[in-house]
């Protein structure tokens, strides 16, 4: 009888264990699913699993909005009519989120207002009160955005011009019709835009987006995976031999990539629309051997690849190539001094992409676009 009672107890305990497991398991799965969806919208942009740019040497927790300031930062951005990442990147640049910060020039607090400016925008509050500082920052940035609104043709320009007005004054932005040609101001705008994208966006989204529309969420291939950036997009000293000794700047309408890669590649599926013939090509000789190509899907951006090595181009006009297809070998066949590839992105609505000699269309800085497509350019 004792053995029977013992067996009965064991059976009852086993049944209770199974019942408990049936009750607890759905709860665990439910909680786990909730955690999986709870992604941090202000975590650093991750490319190939590693923060890059200004975030590359920082602990992840140090480059997102501090918990105690999230609501205030969101409210500040809402007031300003700007992305949260822009306000956050500004605060990081100005004070490193330190509410007691001061500068040698006399700026104070988390938003680094000068005393005279704080007197106008601080609502008679303590300049070292971080929440008052974030509130004032939103109202001040809204004021600046209103002063330059008629100059901006899209949301990205609005953000850039407002940042420029913050650094150099709205009068200078109006005078030059955009970002003034001051090195400090250009650097300030670029730094904030970069940090907003890399430090305060979990999906690597560029602040303000792009005027050509949205890109698909699929990742692109790297145009030259082992390369380094040797010349960025934008103003640079004239590289031509005829410019020696002259101080003026030229607009570099793409980026230059150099490295150990034997080939350069298609970042996404492309239709080849023009391939240069002969060296130098009579249409675009100063840029060496080159390829024009267009995305086969919206937004149909036009890509240019220049400076290819003689007799190395591996595609012909009309070809459709898949992402990651080798297109040719980097070279120095144009007016250049080192082996590289010039990579350029154009707006399809303004580009005459099958007639390079008359292509004076709108170009874009490739870096924010590539970052958004999870391509690491260093």
Tell me: pLDDT of 305 over 70: yes
Rounded Cα distance between 351 and 225, Å, is: 27
Q: What is the mean pLDDT of residues 179-188?
A: 93
Does the domain at 53-199 match CATH 3.40.50.2300? Answer given as no
**pTM (predicted TM-score):** 0.78
Tell me: pLDDT of 244 over 90: no
Packing angle, helices 84-95 and 70-80, rounded to 10: 110
Rounded Cα distance between 68 and 74, Å, is: 12
Average pLDDT of the chain? 82
- In this prediction, residue 16 has a pLDDT band, given cuts at 50, 70 and 90, of very low
Tokens linked to 278? 């002969």
Tell me: pLDDT of 331 over 90: yes
- Number of helices followed by number of strands (H, E) in the chain: 9, 14
Residues catalogued as catalytic: 94
- In this prediction, residue 240 has a pLDDT band, given cuts at 50, 70 and 90, of low
Q: What is the mean pLDDT of residues 169-173?
A: 96
Q: What is the mean pLDDT of residues 102-109?
A: 96
Q: What is the mean pLDDT of residues 356-360?
A: 45
What share of the chain in percent tops pLDDT 90? 63
Q: What is the mean pLDDT of residues 274-287?
A: 64
Tell me: pLDDT of 239 over 90: no
Q: What is the mean pLDDT of residues 252-259?
A: 93
pLDDT reported for residue 285: 55
The DSSP bridge pattern shows strands 234-237 and 249-252 to be: antiparallel
Domain range summary for the chain, segments of one domain joined by +? 53-199, 227-372
Rounded Cα distance between 162 and 142, Å, is: 9
pLDDT reported for residue 73: 97
CATH number of 227-372: 2.70.70.10
Lowest mean pLDDT segment, chosen from 33-47, 177-191, 247-261, 296-310: 33-47
Nearest to 241 by CA among 150, 346, 337, 373: 337
């Amino acid at each position: 009888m004792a053995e029977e009672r013992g067996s009965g107890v064991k059976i009852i305990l086993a049944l209770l264990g199974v019942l408990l497991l049936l009750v607890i398991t759905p709860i665990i799965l439910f909680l786990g699913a909730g955690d999986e969806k709870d992604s941090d919208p202000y975590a650093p942009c991750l490319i190939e699993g590693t923060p890059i740019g200004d975030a590359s040497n920082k602990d992840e927790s140090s480059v997102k909005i501090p918990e105690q300031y999230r609501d205030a930062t969101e409210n500040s951005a809402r007031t300003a009519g700007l992305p949260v990442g822009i306000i956050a990147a500004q605060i990081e640049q100005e004070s490193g989120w330190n509410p007691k910060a001061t500068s040698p020039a006399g700026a104070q607090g988390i938003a680094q207002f000068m005393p005279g400016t704080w007197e106008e925008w601080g609502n008679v509050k303590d300049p070292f009160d971080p929440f008052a500082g974030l509130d004032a920052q939103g109202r001040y940035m809204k004021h600046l955005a209103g002063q330059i609104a008629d100059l901006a043709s899209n949301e990205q320009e609005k953000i850039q011009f407002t940042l420029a007005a913050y650094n150099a004054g709205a009068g200078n932005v109006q005078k030059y019709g955009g970002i003034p040609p001051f090195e400090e101001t250009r650097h300030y705008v670029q730094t904030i835009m970069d940090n907003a994208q890399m430090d305060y966006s979990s999906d690597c989204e560029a602040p303000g987006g792009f005027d050509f529309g949205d890109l698909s969420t699929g990742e692109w291939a790297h145009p030259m995976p082992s390369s380094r950036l040797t010349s960025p997009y934008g103003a640079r000293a004239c590289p031509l031999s005829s410019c020696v000794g002259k101080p003026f700047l030229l607009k570099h309408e793409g980026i230059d990539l150099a490295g150990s890669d034997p080939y350069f590649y298609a970042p996404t599926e492309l239709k080849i629309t023009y391939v240069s013939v002969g060296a130098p090509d009579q249409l675009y000789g100063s840029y060496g051997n080159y390829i024009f190509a267009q995305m086969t899907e919206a937004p149909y951006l036009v890509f240019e690849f220049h400076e290819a090595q003689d007799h190395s181009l591996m595609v012909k006009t009309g070809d459709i190539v898949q992402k990651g297809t080798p297109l040719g070998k980097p070279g120095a066949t144009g007016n250049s001094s080192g082996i590289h590839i010039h990579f350029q992105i154009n707006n399809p609505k303004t580009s005459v992409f099958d007639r390079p000699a008359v292509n004076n269309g709108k170009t874009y800085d490739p870096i924010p676009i590539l970052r958004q497509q999870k391509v690491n350019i260093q």
